[in-house]
Amino acid sequence: MPSLMYLAKEEFVTQLENAAKTEFEEARLERIDFWNSINVSSQEFGDLSSSMAFRIAKQYGKSPHEVAQHILRHMKRTQLIKEFTESSGYLNSVFDRVAYSKSVIETVIDEKEFYGSSNLGKGEKTLIEYPAVNPTKPLHVGHLRNLLLGDSLANILAFCGYSVEREDYIDDLGLQVAELVWGHIHLGSKNAQNKKYDQFLGELYVEVNKALEKDGVKEEIETILKKMEQGNTDEARLSRSISEKCVLAQYETAFNYKVYHNVLIWESDIVAAKLLGAAVDLAKAKGAVITPEEEKYKGTLALDLKQVKDISKEFENPEERYKVLIRSNGVATYAMKDFAFHLWKFGLLKDSFSYSQIIQKQPNGACLYSSSKSGEKRGFGNAKKVINIIDMRQSHEQSTVKALLKLTGSADSASNLTHVAYAIVEIGGKDLSGRSGTWLSSEKNYTADDLLRETTAKAKEKVESSKKISGKKNTDEVAKAIALSAIRFEYLRVGPEKKIDFSWERALNFEANSGPYVMYMYARARSILGKAAYEETQLEARDYGFINNDEFKVIKLISMAQDIAEKSANEYRPNVITDYLLDLSSTFSAFYERNQVIKGGESKNIRLAIVYSAMHAMGNMLRLLGVEPIESM
């Protein structure tokens, strides 16, 4: 079922189209033109408005006002629209508040926690990968953007009817891990006991990075890296074991942020499964790659940039002719490995992984699986749609993967591959490098753990000073929930393509335009319902006769929840949701500030129903952001 706002718009379009076509036959307009001419307008101009008359006026050489008046004559009231009006060329609709409100509220009562959900995705299997952090350091405030974007988008897509699989890729064969293996051997692991393992590794990593300047160290690390890649060596086992311990520590953090996954795929397992060979064979067979003659590229397997420059402008490069995929020493580049992995993601190569349970029960109750040497077969991968949450600096690599998919005959998959490119998080204009240890600070580290701890402490202070909750139990839980809402909101309210300069001040702001603000409005709604001993059966008695402007503003916003969720899913933008939540909660706040609910006399029941509906709309949208609303705070 589409949202009521959508239905009202549809009724408007139908009336408008018929009327306009009767009066202005020559206009040659499509239904889509009428549809696009309609906007949600500010209250003074009615509920929905169309600028169609301007367009027709031009063709007919008449004034928009005149045209609109002609169209208006043929427009008749509909189920949801009480009347149409005209003002300075715009055609406005006025909703039938009784019919509209009744329908919205009954739908919410019927659907409750599913209100706003839809079947947009038609159950399509969608694989979403995040955060793919190197298993060499703690998650910091930069990684958090990836983590929260991924988790939130996964929630949103699931709510919109996609069948979502949350996957994380772990590169346990990277140079960074090799450096840590070297560090383990040469610098020891004496500090490991009294620290969280990822924190210990992160610090060790900075140490190793300093040692890199010494003679011979680089070579030693390269040797280690080669042994790791061979598999079945001491170095390989050590790298996997270090990586696993690190990932488990990182996931402890993720769990505190209420972020969960379905499956981890390890680079060492991708290598063991020989996906790469199969991918190379495929690329050769389809003629997607060539072996350049030029001296510079002798012995490599490469992508001919001329062949792909139509696929993406990224490949327009006057200086380079080829993009190397397999080096002359036989080692694959990142892009090629990634292409192989994507063949698996789309089910274009058969799933040769075995899976074991790395965490039997995450805090959300679900098992976390992991690719492994031994284990059972499972139906992971084989997705129709693939979404990668990756920093925008990797756009070029992602385009290469896409191009390879297209060239190997999977144009469908190529177009179903989405790179959600987000800009980095900086601190005081500097990016968060693991190598130099920017995340380490003498006062507060910029790790995700530190951020949550600081924010929770601030929240707890506030909770304890609040009279409402003082003397009550679980202040820790409440403080944590509030802290989470603050952090998640702060990260998600900004469009993904804009860079974020991290600031403690903003992270710790719980006032308006924040997660806690929305949570507060939710809690107040609950509190009112509790005080009124509200039950749904009371709704029988509600009277839709008097819906004032404050009330109807809230109802209209509630009616748009599904459109908002779908927009957010289609555009991969959680900030569509945060924006809506701020609008809804502040409109709701203004409504109850000016309108007594419990002492509302004849309006009491309808207002209770509005509070009830707004509460569900807020709660459902908050959950899409990964924020579980709390009853009181």
Partner RNA sequence: GGGCAUGUGGCGUAAUUUGGAUAGCGCAUCGGGCUUCGGACCCGAGGGUUGCGGGUUCAAAUCCCGUCAUGCCCGCCA
Pick out residues in 422-451 that bind RNA (CB under 7 A). Answer: 423
* Listed ranges 349-357, 362-370, 443-451, 500-508: which one lies at the site for RNA (CB under 7 A): 500-508
User: Which range binds RNA by CB under 7 A, 87-95, 238-246, 379-387, 403-411?
Assistant: 87-95
Nearer to RNA, 69 or 382 (CB): 69
Strands (E), 255-367: 263-266, 301-304, 322-326, 354-359
Q: Please tell me whether residue 575 binds RNA under the rule CB under 7 A.
A: yes
Nearer to RNA, 381 or 574 (CB): 574
> In the set 88, 223, 291, 436, which binds RNA (CB under 7 A)?
88
Q: Tell me whether residue 177 or residue 263 sits nearer to RNA (CB atom).
A: 177
- Of residues 411 and 590, the one with the C-beta less far from RNA: 590
Binding mask 530-559 for RNA (x = CB under 7 A): -x----------------------------
Q: How would DSSP label each residue in 386-436?
A: EEEEEEGGGHHHHHHHHHHHHHTT-HHHHHTEEEEEEPPEEETTEE--TTT
3 binds RNA (CB under 7 A): no
State which of residues 25, 26, 30, 44 lies at the interface with RNA (CB under 7 A).
44
- Least Cα distance to 35 among 63, 59, 66, 2 occurs for 2
Q: Is 619 in the site for RNA (CB under 7 A)?
A: no
Q: Give every CB contact of residue 464 below 8 A, 6+ residues apart in sequence.
A: 470, 475
Q: What is the largest CA-CA distance in the chain?
A: 88
Residue type at 456?
Answer: T
C-alpha–C-alpha distance, residues 415 and 417, integer Å: 5
Smaller CB distance to RNA: residue 357 or 596? 596
Using CB under 7 A, pick the residue from 22, 594, 602, 628 that binds RNA. 594
Rounded distance between C-alpha atoms, residue 199 and residue 356, angstroms: 26
| Residue among 524, 542, 556, 616 that touches RNA (CB under 7 A) | 524
The burial of 413, by beta-carbon neighbours within 10 Å (0-12 exposed, 13-18 middle, 19 or more buried), is given as buried
CB–CB of 271/277 below 8 Å? Answer: no
Q: Residue 138 and residue 434: Cα distance in Å, rounded?
A: 9
**Nearer Cβ to RNA (64/165):** 64
Least distance to RNA, CB of residue 516, Å: 3
How many residues sit close enough to RNA to count as binding (CB under 7 A)? 104
Distance CA 556, CA 559 (A): 5
Shortest distance, position 465 Cβ to RNA, whole Å: 8
Q: How far is the CB of 416 from RNA (least distance, A)?
A: 17
CA 171 to chain centre: 22
Nearer to RNA, 125 or 556 (CB): 556
In the complex, least distance from residue 155 CB atom to RNA, rounded to whole angstroms: 18
d(CA 564, CA 40): 13
Least distance (Å) between residue 87 CB and RNA: 5
Nearer to RNA, 368 or 478 (CB): 478
Alpha helices per DSSP H over 433-474? 448-465
Comparing CB distances to RNA, the nearer of 239 and 253 is 239
Antiparallel, parallel or unpaired: β 38-40 and 48-50:
antiparallel
526 binds RNA (CB under 7 A): yes
Instruction: With H, G, I as helix, E, B as strand and everything else as coil, classify residue 362.
Output: coil
What's the min distance (Å) between Cβ of 90 and RNA?
3
Q: Could you say which of 45, 255, 504, 544 contacts RNA (CB under 7 A)?
A: 45
523 near RNA, rule: CB under 7 A: yes
Q: Is 466 in the site for RNA (CB under 7 A)?
A: yes
Q: Pick the piece of the chain touching RNA (CB under 7 A) from 4-12, 197-205, 371-379, 514-522.
A: 514-522
- Tell me which H or E stretch contains 556: helix 549-558
Instruction: Give residues 470-489 in contact with RNA (rule: CB under 7 A).
Output: 478, 482
- Candidates 101-109, 118-126, 191-199, 498-506; binding stretch for RNA (CB under 7 A): 498-506
Return the residues of window 282-341 that contact RNA according to CB under 7 A: 296-300, 313-314, 316-320, 323-324, 327-329, 331, 333-335
Q: Could you tell me if 23 and 74 are in contact, meaning their C-beta atoms sit under 8 angstroms apart?
A: yes
Site string for RNA, 170-209 (x = CB under 7 A): -x-xxxx---------------------------------
Please tell me the distance from the alpha carbon of residue 544 to that of residue 111, in angstroms, as a whole number: 20
Q: Are 140 and 168 in contact (CB under 8 A)?
A: no
Candidates 125, 145, 493, 556; binder of RNA (CB under 7 A) is: 493
Nearer to RNA, 38 or 264 (CB): 38
What's the min distance (Å) between Cβ of 362 and RNA? 27
Residue 581 C-beta: closest distance to RNA, Å: 11
Query: From the CB of 299, what's the least distance to RNA, in Å?
Result: 6
Structure tokens at 328: 């002359």
* Binding letters toward RNA, positions 383-422, x by CB under 7 A: ---------xxxxxx-----------------------x-
* 597 lines the binding site for RNA (CB under 7 A): yes
**Residue 176 Cα to chain centre, angstroms:** 28
Nearer to RNA among residue 543 and residue 631 (C-beta): 631
CB of 295 to RNA, least distance (A): 8
The sheet carrying 48-50 orders its strands as 38-40, 48-50, 90-95, 81-87
Measured from the CB atom, the residue of 18 and 527 that comes closer to RNA is 527
Q: Which is nearer to RNA, 240 or 524 (CB)?
A: 524
The CA angle 97-100-101, to the nearest 5 degrees, is: 80
Strands 385-391 and 125-129 turn out to be parallel
Beta strands per DSSP E along 233-384 = 263-266, 301-304, 322-326, 354-359, 368-372
The token duo for 323 is 């993009």
Would you count residue 62 as binding RNA (CB under 7 A)? no
Give the nearer residue to RNA in terms of CB position, either 374 or 511: 511
DSSP string, 35-99: HHTEEE--GGG-SEEE-HHHHHHHHHT--HHHHHHHHHHH----SSEEEEEEETTEEEEEE-HHH
